[in-house]
């Protein structure tokens, strides 16, 4: 029994400690334990069998010893029977009823065999002996019965006692478990209280507010800072009752209603509402549907925030970007304006070629023997020149048009060559000799081609002016491209008047100009364009004289 | 347009195909323009009307070239890399290359054209060139150069003849063209009237003058001042 107790207790205490079984009464668990106790009892006979055999053997040995002693002492039948009775009473204290019956029977046999005449025979002739044996049988049966009865009662008492002790022990364990659970619950409650306090603190200090709406979508609860107004003003109203953009953005509201009606979570819904002081504010709200334990929809709860500042900043940013783009355009057109004469020449030149070639062609065809070969060659020249003119026009148009930013994969060398073709005339006009060193196998960059051309053109024109101002016969401009660690670099190097090292940074400030007719935007705009491409534009003195302008643009991978 | 062009073109071509005329009579046009396509077009155009053409990309190329000694003219772009058209014009004047110049320019620049004309340019044309204007200018240029060359040749002959006079004859020559009579000259030179008349007839013969007025014109061409 002792070996079995620990698992039972363990099971019991486990049972009691399991929180989700809290409602299960302790009694039912005790009942289960009693059940298992009874089961244990049923196993008992199996084990007792061995004890029974032992007791029987013990009894038989004792009986044999007594029989031997009595026989040796030549005791009369009555004495032997009495001795047997005493032995049986003594044995009855240790052995069980069935053994006693067997022993009684063996005793009767021994008496009739060894002590009753005739000896060594089971036969009993003397009626007095018969009555003695009968009395022995009856007495032994009675004594046995009584002894067994007493023992049975005693055993029952012991069993009950044990059961009680057991139950007590289990109750104590359960009690301890309950006490533990109580302490645990106390701790959990404290933690809960702390977490509640924490949440309250968060809510009180957050600039966002918390809200709850009922199944009719009307506010049932709002924290103090909601909408910058008093919560009482909003309780009982729906959020769209205070919206200012319900008519202008009805689609947005329709979608919100659909989300709410389908009891789905919504996030970052932005709308314009009347603020506490009557001024419009932008509100960003997120909410989650609430259901009670029966799965019944109880409304929504979530957070709201005043995002007016963010929205305004966003709009200002967009506006700024537009202004920057416009400025870039104006600066571009200004740059083109500086090149007007060169560009006009650049278009006029091929046109002159076209006209003269066409005249020549007519002559060849009008001859008595038309010279078709010469005429064809003239026509080919016309085509080539016309294409050249239209290329220039297209390039100028590209630069002049007010196009939105358009980032594509650009080969920097191609861009450089296109730009140079616009400035060739300007350079030769000013006796500037241009030298290009374009590195091969450069990575492509994600950039706006037009803006890039604008920057390069600007740098070329600046260099050209610096060279002209230098009053030097030897005017050299070099443009080179190279691979940078994570992209490409372009360097424009001149041998012009150079730059004052102390003024290097002010060069890039807006309205800083050294030209009488200049706006002073060229370099400022160029730098903002390059920085807009994630790159850097800077200047440094050239050796032995002149200036170097250099920019780098990283070559971003896909989705850069 | 067609009708206007055709007979003229045919005339030019007839001349070109004829090839019987000497290079000098035909003339030659030198084109100096840095733009290859313009150069090619002009070369072809002037070639198609039967002119000899040589073209150059820069002034230096022109100066370095071996040019035929015939009458001609230069079609010159105003804006050239290195030496500009105007500087070139001055340079030519200094180096006594007296080819007439027709300027062509991408756009009409009044101040440049005025300067060019003052320095003796024949014409200042803007691109794209009108064929007729160009052809007229070129032919006028060649004609003028031919006339100049003839004048140069005539003067050279006169100078040669002048050199053949003896000092006494030269003295008589200088006095004759002032319109003095032989006896006045004889008195001035303290010679006999007869001697003066002999010298005078020698002068008339050596100089190839048909009359006194002819002789006076020669003296004028040679820049010999009439002595008072």
CA distance A535 to A529: 9
CA distance A30 to B110: 124
* Same domain, residue pair A380 and A431: no
The answer as to whether A318 is a domain residue is: no
Token code pair at residue A466: 């610096």
The answer to the question of residue A188 being in a domain is no
CA-angle at A512, arms to A508 and A514, nearest 5°? 115
Q: How far is CA B57 from CA A11, A385, B32, B35, B144, in A?
A: 111, 17, 6, 7, 25
pLDDT, greater one: B175 or A383: A383
Of B13, B40, B47, the CB nearest to A381: B40
Nearest by CB to B41, which of A345, A353, A374? A353
Q: A345 and B47 in contact by Cβ < 8 A?
A: no
B98-144 pLDDT, tens digit each: 889 999 987 777 888 888 888 888 999 988 889 999 999 999 999 99
Pick from A363, A381, A388: which is nearest to B48 by CB? A363
B228 belongs to a structural domain: no
- Final residue in a domain of this structure, among B101, B118, B151: B151
Query: CA A272, CA A308: separation in Å to the nearest integer?
Result: 9
A507 located within any domain: yes
Whether A391 and A412 share a structural domain? no
* B13 interfacial to chain A (CB closer than 8 Å): yes
* Helix or strand (DSSP H, E) at A525: helix A522-532
In this structure, are residues A172 and A26 in contact, taking their beta carbons and an 8 Å threshold? Answer: no
**Residue A353 to residue B81, Cβ atoms within 8 A:** no
Measured between CB atoms, does B18 come within 8 Å of chain A?
no
Over 70: is that where the pLDDT of B9 sits? no
For chain A, how many structural domains are there in total? 4
- Read off the tokens for A101: 């019956």
How far is C-alpha A19 from the chain's CA centre?
A: 30
My answer on whether A422 and A293 are in the same domain is no
pTM: 0.53
CA distance A380 to A375: 9
Does residue B97 sit in the same domain as residue B195?
Answer: no
What CATH number does residue A243 fall under? 3.30.450.20
Give the pLDDT confidence score for residue A559 in this predicted structure: 39
Residue A208 vs residues A92, A212, A218, A271, A284: alpha-carbon distances, Å: 89, 14, 19, 15, 9
Distance CA A311, CA B215 (A): 103
Nearest CA of chain A to the CA of B130: how many Å? 8
**Contact yes or no for A110/A116 (Cβ under 8 A):** no
Contact A357 B41 (CB under 8 A): yes
A549 lies in the same domain as A448: yes
More confident position, B111 or B26: B111
CB within 8 Å: B37 and A384: yes
Cα separation, B19 vs B15, whole angstroms:
7
Calpha distance A505→B47 (Å, rounded): 58
SS3 A511: coil
Q: Distance (Å) from the C-alpha of residue B118 to the closest C-alpha of chain A?
A: 23
Overall number of domains in chain B:
2
Measured distance CA(A207)–CA(A251) in Å, rounded: 28
Please indicate, yes or no, whether residues B110 and B63 belong to a single structural domain of this protein: yes
CB contact B59 to A (< 8 Å): no
Write down the pLDDT at residue A31: 64
* Shortest CA distance from B44: residue in chain A: A360
How far apart are the C-alpha atoms of A538 and A15, rounded to whole Å? Answer: 78
Say if residue A43 is in the same domain as residue A106. yes
Q: Which residue has the tokens 């100049």?
A: B148
Where does a domain end: A144, A165, A183? A183
CA separation for the pair A209, A84 (Å, rounded): 99
Would you say residue A198 lies in a domain?
no
Which residues of A sit within 8 Å Cβ distance of B? 341, 344-345, 348-357, 359-360, 362-364, 366-368, 374, 377-378, 381, 384-385, 388, 428-429, 431
Do B118 and B195 sit in the same domain of this protein?
no
- What residue has token string 């924490």? A198
B205 and B140 inside one domain? no
Q: Do A145 and A27 share a structural domain?
A: yes
User: Is B227 domain-assigned?
Assistant: no
d(CA A538, CA A527): 8
**CATH number (domain holding residue A439):** 3.30.565.10
Give the per-residue pLDDT at A29: 64
Q: Are residues B64 and B168 in the same domain?
A: no
- Tell me the two tokens of residue A35: 């059940």
Measured between beta carbons, the chain A residues lying within 8 angstroms of B131 are 355-356, 359
B128:A355 CB<8 A: yes
- Structural domain includes residue B226: no
Which residues have CB under 8 Å from A560's CB, separation 6+?
A446, A534, A554
Sign, CA torsion A519/A522/A523/A528: positive
Q: How confident is the model at residue B11 (pLDDT cuts 50, 70, 90)?
A: very low
Judged by CB atoms closer than 8 Å, whether chains meet at B127 and A344 is answered as no
> What is the rounded (10 degree) CA torsion for B17, B19, B22, B24?
30
Bridge partners, residue A433, by sequence? A476
Encode burial over B189-225: b for 16+ CB neighbours within 10 A, e otherwise: eebeeeebbebbebbbebbebeeeeebbebbeeeeee
| CB contacts, 8 Å: A429 with chain B | 79
Asked whether the bond before B35 is cis by omega within 30 degrees of 0, the reply is no
Residues A416 and A400 in one domain: no
Query: Is the Cβ of B129 closer than 8 Å to some Cβ of chain A?
Result: yes
Asked whether residue B145 falls in the same domain as residue B178, the answer is: no
Residue B201 and residue B120 in one domain: no
- Are residues B127 and B62 part of one domain? yes
**B110 and B189 within one domain:** no
| A27 and A170 assigned to the same domain | yes
User: Distance of alpha carbon B181 from its chain centroid, rounded?
Assistant: 37
| CATH code, domain with B167 | 1.10.10.10
Cβ contacts of A374 on chain B, cutoff 8 Å: 44, 48
Residues of A in contact with B38 (CB under 8 A): 349, 352-353, 356
Distance from CA of B3 to the nearest CA of A (A): 11
Asked whether residue A115 is domain-assigned, the answer is yes
Whole-angstrom distance, CA of residue B108 vs CA of residue B118:
16
Task: Tell me the shortest Cα–Cα distance from B67 to chain A, in angstroms.
Answer: 25
Residue scoring higher pLDDT (B83 or A17): B83
For residues A135, A141, A143, A146, the Cα torsion angle rounded to the nearest 10 degrees is -140
Nearest to A345 among B41, B82, B106 (CB): B106
Inspect the interface and report whether the beta carbons of B37 and A388 lie closer than 8 Å: yes
Q: CB under 8 Å to A153, separation ≥6 — which residues?
A: none
Domain boundary pick from B134, B151, B168:
B151
Q: What is the pLDDT of residue B12?
A: 44
Are A345 and B34 within 8 A, CB to CB?
no
- Of the candidates B123, B63, B55, the one whose C-alpha atom is nearest the C-alpha of residue B87 is B63
Give kind and range of the element (H or E) at residue A290: strand A280-291
Q: What is the pLDDT of residue B10?
A: 41
Q: Which domain holds residue B88?
A: 2-151
Residue B1 has pLDDT above 70, yes or no: no
Q: How many CB atoms lie within 10 A of CB A307?
A: 18
Q: Same domain, yes or no, for A103 and A133?
A: yes
Decide if A196 is inside a domain.
no
Q: Are A117 and A244 found together in one domain?
A: no
**Residue finishing a domain among B126, B151, B176:** B151
Report the run of H or E that residue A282 belongs to, with start and end.
strand A280-291
In our burial notation (b when 16+ CB lie closer than 10 A, e otherwise), range A494-510 reads bbbbbbeeeeeeebbee
Residue A262 corresponds to which tokens in the numbers above?
A: 């389908």
A363 plus A413 within the same structural domain: no
A463 lies in some domain: yes
Q: Give me the domain span that covers residue A524.
A: 407-560
pLDDT tens-place string over residues A284-332: 999 999 998 888 999 999 989 888 888 889 888 888 878 877 877 888 8
For residues A464 and A546, the answer to whether their CB atoms sit within 8 Å is no
Q: Give the relative orientation of helices A372-400 and A412-429 as an angle to the nearest 10 degrees.
A: 100
Tell me the chain B residues in contact with residue A367 when contact means C-beta distances shorter than 8 Å.
9-10, 13
Nearest CA in chain A to B81: A428
Q: Please tell me whether residues B129 and B176 are part of one structural domain.
A: no
Query: Is there a single domain that holds both residue A349 and residue A275?
Result: no
Write out B151-210 in H/E/C secondary structure: HHHHHHHHHHHHHCCCHHHHHHHHHHCCCCCHHHHHHHHCCCHHHHHHHHHHHHHHHCCC
pLDDT at A481: 94
Same-domain check for residues B79 and B191: no
In chain A, the residue whose alpha carbon lies closest to the alpha carbon of B47 is A360
Low-confidence residues of chain A, pLDDT below 50? 1-13, 15-17, 19-23, 558-560
- CA-to-CA distance for B31 and B137, rounded, in angstroms? 13
A363 and B106 in contact by Cβ < 8 A?
no
Q: What DSSP state is assigned to residue A404?
A: P
User: What CATH number is attached to the domain comprising B122?
Assistant: 3.40.50.2300
A195 in a structural domain: no
Buried b (16+ CB within 10 A) or exposed e, B64-89: eeeeeebbbbbbbbbbbbebbbbebb
Rounded to the nearest angstrom, the minimum Cα separation between A375 and chain B is: 10
Q: How far apart are CA A89 and CA A144, in angstroms?
A: 7
How far does A376 lie from chain B, in Å, by closest CA? 12
Same-domain pairing of B80 and B113: yes
d(CA B211, CA A98): 197
């Amino acid at each position: 029994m002792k070996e079995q107790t620990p698992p039972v207790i363990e099971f019991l205490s486990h049972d009691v400690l399991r929180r989700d079984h809290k409602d299960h009464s302790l009694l039912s668990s005790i009942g289960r334990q009693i059940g298992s106790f009874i089961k244990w009892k049923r196993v008992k006979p199996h084990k007792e069998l061995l004890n029974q055999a032992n007791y029987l053997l013990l009894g038989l040995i004792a009986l044999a010893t007594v029989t031997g002693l009595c026989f040796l002492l030549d005791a009369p039948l009555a004495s032997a029977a009495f001795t047997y009775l005493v032995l049986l009473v003594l044995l009855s204290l240790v052995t069980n009823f069935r053994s006693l019956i067997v022993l009684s029977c063996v005793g009767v046999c021994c008496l009739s065999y060894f002590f009753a005449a005739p000896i060594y025979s089971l036969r009993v002739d003397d009626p007095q002996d018969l009555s003695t044996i009968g009395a022995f049988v009856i007495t032994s049966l009675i004594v046995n019965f009584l002894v067994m009865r007493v023992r049975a009662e005693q055993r029952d008492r012991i069993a009950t006692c044990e059961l009680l002790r057991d139950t007590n022990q289990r109750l104590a364990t359960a009690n301890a478990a309950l006490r533990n659970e109580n302490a645990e619950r106390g701790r959990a409650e404290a933690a809960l209280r702390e977490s509640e306090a924490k949440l309250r603190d968060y809510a009180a200090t957050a600039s966002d507010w918390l809200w709850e709406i009922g199944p009719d979508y009307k506010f049932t609860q709002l924290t103090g800072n909601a909408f910058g107004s008093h919560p009482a003003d909003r309780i009982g109203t729906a959020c769209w009752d205070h919206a200012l953009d319900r008519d202008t953005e009805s689609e947005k509201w329709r979608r919100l209603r659909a989300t709410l009606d389908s009891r789905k979570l919504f996030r970052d819904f932005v709308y314009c509402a009347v603020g506490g002081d009557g001024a419009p504010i932008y509100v960003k709200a997120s909410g989650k549907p609430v259901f009670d334990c029966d799965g019944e929809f109880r409304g929504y709860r979530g957070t709201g925030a005043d995002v007016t500042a963010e929205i305004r900043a966003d709009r200002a940013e967009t506006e700024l970007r537009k202004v920057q783009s416009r400025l870039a355009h104006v600066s571009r057109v200004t740059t083109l304006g500086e090149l007007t004469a060169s560009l006009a020449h650049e278009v006029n030149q091929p046109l002159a070629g076209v006209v003269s070639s066409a005249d020549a062609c007519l002559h060849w065809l009008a001859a008595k023997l038309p010279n078709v070969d010469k005429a064809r060659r003239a026509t080919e020249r016309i085509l080539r020149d016309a294409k050249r003119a239209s290329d220039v026009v297209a390039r100028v148009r590209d630069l002049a048009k007010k196009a939105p930013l358009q980032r594509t994969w650009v080969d920097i060398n191609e861009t450089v060559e296109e730009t140079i073709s616009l400035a060739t005339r300007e350079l030769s006009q000013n006796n500037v000799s241009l030298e290009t060193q374009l590195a091969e196998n450069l990575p492509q960059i994600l950039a706006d081609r037009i803006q890039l051309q604008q920057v390069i053109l600007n740098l070329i024109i600046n260099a050209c002016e610096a060279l002209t101002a230098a009053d030097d016969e030897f005017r050299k401009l070099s443009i080179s491209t190279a691979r940078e660690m994570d992209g490409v670099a372009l360097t424009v190097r001149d041998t012009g008047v150079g730059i004052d090292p102390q003024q290097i940074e002010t060069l890039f400030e807006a309205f800083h100009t050294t030209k009488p007719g200049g706006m002073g935007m060229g370099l400022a705009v160029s730098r903002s364009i390059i920085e807009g491409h994630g790159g850097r534009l800077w200047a440094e003195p050239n050796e032995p004289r002149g200036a170097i302008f250099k920019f780098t643009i990283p070559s971003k991978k896909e989705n850069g | 347009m067609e009708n206007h062009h055709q007979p003229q073109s045919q005339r030019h071509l007839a001349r070109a195909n004829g090839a019987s005329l000497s290079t000098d009579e035909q003339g030659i046009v030198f084109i100096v323009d840095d733009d290859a396509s313009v150069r090619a077009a002009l070369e072809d155009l002037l070639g198609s009307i039967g002119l000899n053409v040589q073209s150059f990309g820069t002034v230096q190329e022109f100066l370095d070239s071996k040019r035929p000694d015939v009458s001609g003219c230069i079609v010159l772009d105003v804006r050239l890399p290195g030496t500009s058209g105007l500087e070139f014009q001055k340079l030519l004047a200094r180096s006594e290359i007296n080819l007439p110049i027709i300027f062509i320019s991408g756009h009409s620049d009044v101040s440049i054209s005025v300067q060019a004309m003052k320095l003796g340019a024949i014409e200042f044309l803007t691109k794209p060139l009108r064929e007729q204007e160009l052809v007229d200018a070129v032919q006028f240029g060649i004609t003028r150069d031919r006339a100049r060359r003839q004048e140069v040749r005539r003067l050279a002959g006169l100078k040669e003849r002048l050199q053949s006079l003896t000092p006494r004859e030269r003295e008589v020559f200088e006095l004759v063209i002032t319109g003095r009579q032989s006896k006045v000259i004889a008195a001035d030179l303290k010679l006999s009237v007869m001697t003066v008349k002999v010298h005078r007839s020698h002068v008339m013969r050596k100089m190839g003058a048909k009359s006194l007025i002819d002789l006076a014109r020669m003296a004028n061409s040679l820049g010999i001042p009439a002595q008072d």
